[in-house]
Structure formats: structure tokens, C-alpha cells
Chain A
Amino acid sequence: MLLRHTPKEIKERSALTVNPAKTCQPVGAMYAALGVHKCLPHSHGSQGCCAYHRSALTRHYKEPVMAGTSSFTEGASVFGGQANLLEAINNIFTIYNPDVIAVHTTCLSETIGDDLTQITNKAKEEGKVPDGKYVIKANTPSYVGSHVTGFANMVKGIVDAFPVNTGHKTNTINIIPGYVEPSDMSEIKRIASEMGIKTIVFPDTSNVLNGPQTGKYDMYPSGGTKIPDLIKAGDSKATIALGPIASGPAAKALDTKCKVPCEILKLPIGIKATDEFVDRLRILGGVSVSEEIKTERGQAVDVITDMQQYFAGKKAALIGDPDQMVSLAGFLTDIGMKVRHVVTGTSGKKFEKRIREAAGEDVNVKEGGDYFYFHQLIKNEKVDLILGNSYSKYISRDEDIPLIRFGFPIYDRVGHQYNPCVGYRGAMRLLENILNALLDRQDRDALEEKFELVM
């Protein structure tokens, strides 16, 4: 009922976004910052932004999400937020004792022109930053990019702050896992460690935003990349950046800053993208791929083999973040499905090209689109499956199409925090979800005489 107004006819809209397929930069920056051990994100702007970002992340991860705010008032908006930020830095180190404060701007502080570099330098000069503690920063105005670019900017902020090239190269490989779930970051670490490769993975939100129930509240959970590791990342022999939009800028910055060569790959979602990642690890690490990994791959492919008849020709519509959409579209195509519509809220020129490469020339692609447009595409050509965040459920219900929750935010299901989508195991989980959705649907719709045990 909610979407009964959506017309089939598509008209150009330049001034209006209806049901956005993105959120703003600061929430991504906050998420990235939480992937540093003992880091308190700090939102430099009005306190509403901080409350919304914390709520959004809390709803998605079902975990406490901590962040400070500069609590801008009218005064700060007129005279600048320097005094607020200086006070905040002082207060935060005094009371919450983090190792790092990760400051990001909001549209407000950005527009009034607060200079984070100048303010954080001043904080240091005034002795507000204790020895061995750090203030890192990222510019994340909400009127540019989306949560994905905010994430990218803060990861670059991490690179700007920590890695040092001491001239002694190590045998370590840096991995920037991209804008993925804590479960994915942990799976990426596991794959590398399974292959016997020493890595520094950053940011790493595993055990921060999917931490165990311990019976006590920790403001700084045990996870997150530790500062000594972030510093050592400057001596690593290479960086693998997963997802060009979310991880590319940081990897390139690290190359420029510390001469750590980088390779920018697709997010390892699906068999081929994971193959690419594993193979890169193999080459860079000078190892061979372990039997365990080969077995995992074989199992995932086995499921596809066993079930390819159910995937064949099934149409899918995808909505979400660009790096994820590219790999996902490729994976679905590889298992024999037809990807018909792909929409991302984040703007980016190469998106269309990358999707067409992954899913074929005749797919409908839109960068900078919204849910309203996505719904219109589906109205024009119906699909068998939707993959998207929780907000896709309105379309799923309205059009009676099964939905697999994928991306951010997921407010109404659990599992995404704990079970990966990346790697062969992640592929297996996706396959299971897709099959369950398709087969449940087949069971539901089967005529009495065709309702059978073995499918």
C-alpha cells in the first residue's frame, strides 16, 4: 500500500530524491573509525547528526556505538567551531581515554569553513593531545558523495595519520577490506591467514560491531586495528585494496606516502572475484593456495553445480553500494541468473561501465538513483529476486517478489554482522540465501499436485 503511488512511467527528476538509496558521508566515516582499536569517532557539527549516525549503526549492528559530538550551537555556526573542537578533544581524552579520536566534519562545519588541520594542530600545540595519543580527521560534507565516500575518506584519514616508511620493508601485506560487514573483514583476515600470509587489515570492525555478549559493557571492545600495526603498514611490501571506491583512495595515498605499491581489486563477493583476491594473495605472498581454501571453493562451486537449474534465467534486481553491486552482479551472472536492474545511490561515472562488464550490455543501470526509480524499473520489467537493504522490503511486498537483505542498512534481520558475504564461504552463504528464497517461493506457489518433496 505504501508504494501504490509509484507510476510505471519514468520521468526525469532533477530536483528531487524519493526514498534514497544512500545516506551521508559522516556515517561511513564513523563506521570506518570504529575499525581502529580504542578509537572514538567524533562528529564535528550539530549533535543531531551524531545521534542519527549512532542510531543508524546501532540499529544495523545491534551493538552500542560510541561517538562524541562538537554540539554546535548558533554561536559556533557563526564564529566557527574551533572552540568546540578544542574543548571536545580535551574532554574526550580526559574522560573517555581513547587512543585515537577520529574527527569528521558534517555539512555544517564544512560550510562554515572549519579547518580541521589547523584546529587539530592547535590542539596539539596547546597540549590537549596526550603523548602517544592521536587525533585523525576526514572531511565529509554530507552534500558530497554518500556514506561510501565518507568511509573512503576516513580510511584515507587513517593512512594520512599513521603509516610510516622506516625503510625496512616487511613481508606483510596490507589489506583494505572495503565497506563491508565486520563478518566480512574477519573472513578476509581468515583467508589470508589460512594461506599463511601476514597481513595488516584496516579498518577492521570485527569484534567491535559484532562483539560477543560478555556480561559487561566495554566502551572500547577488543577488536579494531591496533595503532602499532597501522604505523607498520607503511613498511609493508604491498597493499590490496578491495573495492575501488571505498578503498582505492586510501591505498593510493599509502603508495604516495610510504611507497607501498597497491593493487585495487573488486570486493571478493562471488567465485571469480574471490579467485582474483586469492590469486593476488598467492602471488604477492609467494605462497601456494592451501587445500582448505581450494576445498571451500570446490564446495561453493558444487552447490552451484547441484542447483544451477534453479538459478538459470532467474531475473534479479540489485540496489546498494557501488563496489558491492559490481561484484554481486558478476556473481549472479556467473551462476546463471539474469541481472536486470542495478541501482546505486552513490554517484560515480564508471559505475555503469563496470556493471555492464559484469552483467552484460542490456542491464538497466543507474548511478545516483533512488528507491523510487528502482521500483519503476521493476514495474517495467518484473524480476524473480531483489537484493538490497531493508528498505527494499516495501517494493518486495508491493510487487510480491522475494527479497534478500544485502548492504546497509539492515534494520530488520540479523546475521549480516556474523556471517560473511565475501570469500568462498560468503559465496556459499549467498547461494544458500538465494536458493532458499527461490525454492521457498516455488513451494509457496506450487499447485497442490505439483507440490513435491524432492525438488
Chain B
Amino acid sequence: MEKLKILEGRRGQVFEKGKDAFKLNCGVKSTSGAVSQRACVFCGSRVVLYPITDALHLVHGPIGCAAYTWDIRGSMSSGPVINRHSFSTDLREIDVIYGGAEKLYKAASQLIDKHKPEAAFIYSTCIVGLIGDDVEAVCKKLSEEKKIPVINVDSAGFKGTKKDGYKAACESIAKLVGTGDISMIAPYSINILGEFNLAGEAWIIKDYYTRMGVNVNAVITGDGRVADLKRAHGAALNVVQCAGSMTYLAEIMKKKYNIPFIRVSYFGLDDMTSALYDVAAFFEKNPEINERAGMVVKDEMDAIMPGLLRYRKALSGKKAALYVGGAFKAFSLIKALRVLGMDVVLAGSQTGNKEDYEDLKKICDDGAIIIDDANPQELSRYITEKKADVLIGGVKERPIAYKIGIGFCDHNHERKIPLAGYAGMLNFAGEVYSSVMSPVWKLVLRNDTFGQKRSRP
């Protein structure tokens, strides 16, 4: 194989465990001209706030940003669905020259009157950040007139990375927190932060906690309601699932309302179990919670183990590659894959930080590639070289895996079945199994398919 060229500026972002000295260079901006899999500030704020279902989400800018984020999130609602529409001020050239604030006011005003949302989020995109529309003033005016919170989400794409978008979303949510009545909130109450109810996962998790006797006060933001966000400061504990997006909000709430937080993950058996016991441990004054947590764990494990063992038998010894958004999810996935008897030969993330990668290094086996902000060329090269049987990633990674002729499992926005919790672990195993074992891989054109030699690199 021809040697893979890696951009000078990216050399420090690829590491092979056991071979290279480890000082992974991460948290840096993508090099200009790199084919990065990363997105922008707007994307970050949009994915976090999107699942707030009874709020209006109006994208202030040219049409693209609204069009590309129209109902692609897969986050389920048990009630309102205002969030699933695509509303845009659709700025034109003339607005860019003379300013779009007036258009924004009109659009938002009409929409609020029509849909009567509980709150409105106005996303300012690149161009608005540039032409300097006073979105803050429009929001203030609308808040007063319409008697609902109208919040400016400062999400000009160029102002940073997706992570900065998460921060902008947290700041927007923080404006709602603390404005509701908390007198009726039960004492053993938690908020779940960074769980977006993709394919209904929040419902699974909520059920576990409820069975433990813990009240889930607000899920931020899965199947989210503005009223829940307003009351979020009434919880005793914040449980942070997607650390990358929501730690910032947890920190704000700790400072402002003295609510402690713990980091958990709902993916894989170990992490899911810890997520329940850690909450029980927090409420140690009530030992029954811990007891009931044990029952939940036992019941759920009993229900899935036979199925899981069958998958394990088939998948044992197969190899997996991971490329995910945040690195925290990668740990859970590595552990989950080990439960299935699978080895991880590549672990990468779009936005991991130094600590994440240090931890990844510890947990990975020798020979595994650890990679930050990868491009498709690098991904495909290492997947092929390390002979992975499955790639776990998101929408842009799927066809890469398929072209190479290996399985794929979506662990991002597009998953259609829940992968969190115990039932989710079984689903995950089933997804990986059906993809890895698909008979289609036997149809991939090989040297002997037509009885002739075909050169393969």
C-alpha cells in the first residue's frame, strides 16, 4: 500500500497505541483544506435545543441552515411537535444589505401568534453575526409583547466549533432555568442532562429511575418541555449523560443553584448500571432507592442476557472501528463491544479533549489507532489496514464503511432504534450482529467471483 499522506498540521492527531509516543494533539481547529467530519456552532446549538418540542425554533439567516436541520434529528416527542417544522427568515440579498431585524420581528411575531409556543429560540447564523442585526433587542421586544421567553441563540457558525454551539445552547437553557415554580417537586428528584430521546431513549431511562423511586424532574432536552426547563433548578441532582454538550449547563446550575452533578453514560451494561447506582448513592439517606436500583438492574439483565449471549457467540473475535462526536461515548462503546467479545481497532472522535484521549489510550488495546478530527481517507485507510468488521459512526461515515464492504451501526442522529439502557444494549448487539453478519458481504466482488484474478490493493 502506498503510504498515507497526513497533513503536516494533523500529524499529532493520529496515534497508534504501543507504537507511537503518546502526545495526541487535540482540541485544535481543523486545518483549512482538511476534509473534516466536523460541523459548526449553529449545528451544536441546534442539535441540543431541537428536542424542546413545545418551543418555536426560528432560524434567522439565509435558507440553508434551516433547510439542512429540518427534522433530521430523530428525537421523539410524546406531545407537541412544533420543533419538527423548519422556520426561517430566508434572508435575501436585500436583507443582507439593509439588515434583517425587521423581517425577523415580523416572522417571529406571526409564528408565535399562530403556534402559541411556550418559548421561542431565535438562532442567529453566520450572516446575522456578520451584518450585526440586533437580535437581542428583537427578542426583548417580543418577550414583552408576547409574554413568553424569546431567546437569542448566538450561534454564528464561524465563532468556533460545534462545542461552542453546545455552550450557546446551555446559555439559552440557563435563561429559562430558575423561572418556574418548584414548590411541588418531590425530594428525590433529578434532571437528566444531555439525553436527547433519539428513538425514544429518554423514555427507557426515565422508566428505570422511576422504578427506583427517583423522580425525573426534567430531561434536558429529550422530549423537552419549556415548563420542565423552567423548573429544573428544583432537582436535587443533575445527571449528565452527554458530557460534551451539557457539562457547561451543569456547572452553571451548580454555581447558581448549588445543584451537584455526576457524569454518567447510558450505553453498555457497566455504564448503565453505574448510572443507576451512582444516583442511588447520591440519595443514600433513602437506602430503599439503592435496593430498588438493584432490582431494576437484575430484572433488566435477566431479560436481555440470553439474547445478548447468542449475539456474543457470533460476534466474538470480530473487530470494530469507532468514529463518534464526543470521546466520552467512545468509552462506553468500547466497553459495550467487549461485552460482545469484540476488539476495538480504531477509536476516534470529532471533538475529544486531552483527558478523553488519555483515557482512551488506557482502555484501548495495543495496535489500536486513536484519532482526532479524522478525514474519510484516514478512516478508510485504517479501517482497511486494521481489518475492522464494523464501523460505528454517523451519517457521513456510513457509506464509507459500506464501500469498503464492512458492517455499519449508526450511533448518531439517524438511529431508528434505541441503543441506550439494557434494552438498548440488546438492540445495539442486534444492530452490530445483523450488519456484520449480513450475507451481502459475501457478494462483494472478489478475485474468484468470475474465475479470474482481479488486482486488489
Residues of A near any B CB (own CB < 8 A): 1-2, 5, 13-20, 22-24, 26-27, 40, 42, 45-56, 58-59, 62-74, 76-77, 84-85, 87-92, 94-96, 106-108, 111-112, 141-144, 146, 211, 213-219, 345, 391
| Beta-carbon contact of A73 and B29 below 8 Å | yes
| Beta-carbon contact of A90 and B33 below 8 Å | yes
**How many residue-residue contacts, CB under 8 A, span A and B?**
250
Residues of B within 8 A of A20 (CB): 63, 66-67, 70, 86, 88, 90
B residues 68-89 with Cβ under 8 Å of A? 68-72, 81, 84-89
> Could you tell me the distance between the alpha carbons of A67 and B38 in the complex, rounded to whole angstroms?
12
| Beta-carbon contact of B95 and A46 below 8 Å | no
Nearest Cβ on chain A to B286's Cβ, whole angstroms: 40
| Beta-carbon contact of B403 and A217 below 8 Å | yes
> Could you tell me the distance between the alpha carbons of A280 and B34 in the complex, rounded to whole angstroms?
44
Nearest Cβ on chain A to B133's Cβ, whole angstroms: 13
Since A62-B402, A64-B396 are in contact, a sample of 10 more A-B pairs with Cβ atoms closer than 8 Å, ordered by chain A residue number, is A16-B111, A23-B63, A24-B67, A49-B64, A69-B36, A74-B160, A95-B6, A142-B64, A215-B405, A216-B384
| Beta-carbon contact of B5 and A47 below 8 Å | no
What are 10 A-B contacts with C-beta separation under 8 Å? A2-B84, A22-B67, A46-B41, A47-B157, A48-B40, A56-B68, A143-B127, A215-B404, A217-B376, A217-B403
> Could you tell me the distance between the alpha carbons of A88 and B62 in the complex, rounded to whole angstroms?
25
| Beta-carbon contact of B87 and A18 below 8 Å | yes
**A16-B87, A213-B402, A216-B457 known; A46+B158 contact, CB < 8 A:** yes
- Most A Cβ at <10 Å: residue of B35, B39, B65: B35
**A71-B29, A73-B158, A216-B456 known; A51+B40 contact, CB < 8 A:** yes
Residues of B within 8 A of A46 (CB): 40-41, 126, 157-158
Q: Does B43 contact A (CB under 8 A)?
A: yes
| Beta-carbon contact of B158 and A108 below 8 Å | yes
Residues of B within 8 A of A22 (CB): 63, 67
Residues of A within 8 A of B40 (CB): 46-49, 51
Q: Does B400 contact A (CB under 8 A)?
A: yes
Residues of B within 8 A of A142 (CB): 61-64, 127
For residue A41, which residue of chain B has the nearest CB? B35
Binds A, one of B102-110, B174-182, B247-255, B313-321: B102-110
> Could you tell me the distance between the alpha carbons of A94 and B106 in the complex, rounded to whole angstroms?
49
Q: Does B444 contact A (CB under 8 A)?
A: yes
| Beta-carbon contact of B158 and A15 below 8 Å | no
B residues 381-418 with Cβ under 8 Å of A? 384, 395-396, 398-400, 402-405
Residues of A within 8 A of B342 (CB): none
Nearest Cβ on chain B to A99's Cβ, whole angstroms: 16
| Beta-carbon contact of A70 and B395 below 8 Å | no
Nearest Cβ on chain A to B72's Cβ, whole angstroms: 8
Instruction: Across the A-B interface, give the 3 residue pairs with the lowest CB-CB distance, nearest first.
Output: A48-B40, A88-B33, A24-B64
Q: What count of chain B residues pass the 8 Å CB interface test?
A: 82
> Could you tell me the distance between the alpha carbons of A23 and B63 in the complex, rounded to whole angstroms?
6
| Beta-carbon contact of B35 and A67 below 8 Å | yes
> Could you tell me the distance between the alpha carbons of A111 and B61 in the complex, rounded to whole angstroms?
13
Name B36's contact: one of A24, A47, A63 (CB within 8 Å).
A47
Q: Does B19 contact A (CB under 8 A)?
A: no
| Beta-carbon contact of B30 and A69 below 8 Å | yes
| Beta-carbon contact of A17 and B110 below 8 Å | no
Q: Does B32 contact A (CB under 8 A)?
A: yes
> Could you tell me the distance between the alpha carbons of A71 and B61 in the complex, rounded to whole angstroms?
19
Nearest Cβ on chain B to A244's Cβ, whole angstroms: 22
Residues of A within 8 A of B5 (CB): 94-95
| Beta-carbon contact of B376 and A48 below 8 Å | no
Name A219's contact: one of B90, B91, B377 (CB within 8 Å).
B377
| Beta-carbon contact of B130 and A15 below 8 Å | no
Name B90's contact: one of A17, A88, A90 (CB within 8 Å).
A17
Residues of B within 8 A of A85 (CB): 32
| Beta-carbon contact of A111 and B96 below 8 Å | yes
Name A217's contact: one of B68, B86, B384 (CB within 8 Å).
B384
- Most B Cβ at <10 Å: residue of A49, A58, A84: A49
- Most B Cβ at <10 Å: residue of A42, A69, A106, A215: A215
Residues of B near any A CB (own CB < 8 A): 5-7, 9, 29-43, 61-72, 81, 84-93, 95-96, 102-104, 106-107, 110-111, 114-115, 126-127, 129-131, 157-162, 376-377, 380, 384, 395-396, 398-400, 402-405, 444-446, 456-457
Residues of B within 8 A of A77 (CB): 126, 129-130, 158
Residues of A within 8 A of B6 (CB): 95
| Beta-carbon contact of A96 and B377 below 8 Å | yes
| Beta-carbon contact of A64 and B81 below 8 Å | no
Residues of A within 8 A of B400 (CB): 64, 217
Residues of B within 8 A of A50 (CB): 36
Residues of A within 8 A of B37 (CB): 51
| Beta-carbon contact of B81 and A19 below 8 Å | no
Nearest Cβ on chain A to B443's Cβ, whole angstroms: 8
Residues of B within 8 A of A55 (CB): 68, 72, 395-396
**A26-B64, A46-B126 known; A59+B403 contact, CB < 8 A:** no
| Beta-carbon contact of B131 and A27 below 8 Å | no
Nearest Cβ on chain B to A1's Cβ, whole angstroms: 7
> Could you tell me the distance between the alpha carbons of A118 and B58 in the complex, rounded to whole angstroms?
36
> Could you tell me the distance between the alpha carbons of A72 and B445 in the complex, rounded to whole angstroms?
42
| Beta-carbon contact of B63 and A17 below 8 Å | yes
Name A108's contact: one of B30, B69, B130, B398 (CB within 8 Å).
B130
| Beta-carbon contact of B395 and A58 below 8 Å | yes
Nearest Cβ on chain B to A376's Cβ, whole angstroms: 13
| Beta-carbon contact of A68 and B110 below 8 Å | no
Residues of B within 8 A of A391 (CB): 70-71
| Beta-carbon contact of B126 and A45 below 8 Å | yes
Nearest Cβ on chain B to A417's Cβ, whole angstroms: 11
> Could you tell me the distance between the alpha carbons of A5 and B85 in the complex, rounded to whole angstroms?
11
| Beta-carbon contact of B35 and A68 below 8 Å | yes
For residue B87, which residue of chain A has the nearest CB? A18
**A17-B89, A51-B40 known; A63+B35 contact, CB < 8 A:** no
| Beta-carbon contact of A215 and B446 below 8 Å | yes
For residue B414, which residue of chain A has the nearest CB? A59
- Most A Cβ at <10 Å: residue of B29, B63, B96, B159: B63
> Could you tell me the distance between the alpha carbons of A63 and B396 in the complex, rounded to whole angstroms?
9
| Beta-carbon contact of B445 and A13 below 8 Å | no
Name B95's contact: one of A48, A74, A84, A143 (CB within 8 Å).
A143
| Beta-carbon contact of A108 and B157 below 8 Å | yes
Nearest Cβ on chain B to A288's Cβ, whole angstroms: 38
> Could you tell me the distance between the alpha carbons of A18 and B67 in the complex, rounded to whole angstroms?
10
